Amino acid sequence: MNFDSTRPRGCSRPSAVFALYGTAAALLMLVGLAMPAQAVPLPSGAVPQPVLTESDSSVAFGAWVGALTEMLDSTPAPAIEHEYSEFVLAHGLPADDSKLKREYRELRLLFEALRDGGFWHLRWAVTDQYPSSKLIWQAWIREPVRTGFAEPSATGECDESSALFGMLARHLRIYNVGLYYPTWNHTISVWAPHEGKAKTALIQLPTTQIFLDCNAGFDKTTFPMQLKNIERYPNWDVRPNTLIPRARAEWLLHQIQVYAAASPSLWSLVRAKRAYAIGSSMGQCQNARSEWHAELAGHMTGGDVTALSTLAAEELGLREANPAKVLAWLAE
């Protein structure tokens, strides 16, 4: 498919040449990480498995969305409470609006899950596809679950990951999410709090780091924005009765459970390491990773320890690992 030069879409590949780490290389860098004498074993039952109905091997997409909604609403995520207070203060929005608070919480966790290199291991690459999440879902349905730290679950361009955000928001009944083109060749997601009725500019949600620095993220970009009205993402992309392999459905939920209670600095540190390892939209971000490590070192929460222990066990194959050592490796 050729680019349609009359329509703003797609992402330009960053000029930096990214080094590509494989899973084996990641494990080699972790030599000496396991420290039985000081290890913090993965707590039994600390990250309970999500429960889904349907058949033994598959689950309907609609049922999965129901489980996702419940998880986004109920999984402990203490950092989001603090972030929400700062968010409404910065934008002059009512802090006691329950609908706004629910939308913020759901979108905030969803954003971290599907970002390039995020909880769901999505990888950015130029694919020359139209804004749609269909190919991402096809890959998730077709491919087996691979849990390795540097193993992408699917690949998509910025307009595809932005479409994924828009369609999932729509399935979550958050209809005021759409696409925005800050440049002719780039796409991000945007959100209109209060369905665009609030006198605030659209909230920018870049799912990749294209044209942005390492610290850009939820409501934090260098793109100008004056728009207050939104063109909602118009498509459902996946039918409610579409069957998803149970292993994939549970893994997507499980990844949110693992990381939701951790600190945003840890989300950023893990994501930056993974995105660089898989050769995605982020450069090495060494200074930023060092800063995130400094924020966390000696101040890890229980959610951080659980996330690091689970990452070591499930993504690096280390059943007992010192969380501080895992944290240091992420900053290297």
Q: Write down the residue that tokens 């909880």 correspond to.
A: 119
pLDDT at 39: 33
Enter the pTM of the model.
0.85
Write out the H or E segment, with its range, that includes residue 186: strand 186-191
pLDDT at 52: 66
- Number of Cβ within a 10 Å radius of residue 247: 13
How do residues 318-328 score in pLDDT, each as one tens digit? Answer: 988 999 999 99
Q: Write down the residue that tokens 């420290």 correspond to.
A: 35
Say yes or no to pLDDT of 49 above 60: no
pLDDT at 197: 66
Strand 154-156, strand 122-124: pairing: parallel
Say yes or no to pLDDT of 10 above 70: no
For residue 201, name the pLDDT band (cuts at 50, 70, 90). confident
Among residues 170, 164, 214, 162, the alpha carbon closest in space to that of 188 is found at 162
Dihedral sign of CA atoms 215, 302, 68, 200 in order: negative
The mean pLDDT of 109-137, rounded to a whole number, is 97
Among residues 219, 290, 297, the alpha carbon closest in space to that of 263 is found at 297
Mean pLDDT value across the chain? 86
How do residues 232-289 score in pLDDT, each as one tens digit? Answer: 899 999 999 999 999 999 999 999 999 999 999 999 999 999 999 999 999 999 999 9
How do residues 214-248 score in pLDDT, each as one tens digit? Answer: 999 999 999 998 787 788 899 999 999 999 999 99
